[in-house]
Amino acid sequence: MSKGKSNQKTKRKRWTFMLEAKDAQEVILMGDFNNWSSKKHPMQRDEKGTWNKTVMLFPGNHEYKFLVDGQWREDPSNDRLCQNCFGTYNSVINLTES
């Protein structure tokens, strides 16, 4: 049996991550969906000091954190956490297929 296309009809969904950090100079969204890369998802600040980034994600669980001026931060608006291999916590979202 070949791998790949048999179950690949699942579509990605648009998801917007937000973080209120008025005094931050730089916020980067990092997670399992971008291989924890600091280059792929820099966030943009709006006029109220909220940082935003919209990404396309496949349904399922996704772990993520914000890198705020070089310091890791969990998502304060999300109480779903899981422990990571560094002894700290990652925020978790679950996107459904519907």
Give domain limits for the chain: 12-95
Rounded mean pLDDT of 79-96?
A: 95
Task: Report, in this order, helix, strand and coil percent for the chain, each rounded to 5.
Answer: 5, 45, 45
Give the pTM.
0.86
**Is the pLDDT confidence value at 77 over 80?**
yes
- CATH number for the region 12-95 comes to 2.60.40.10
**Is the pLDDT confidence value at 2 over 70?**
no
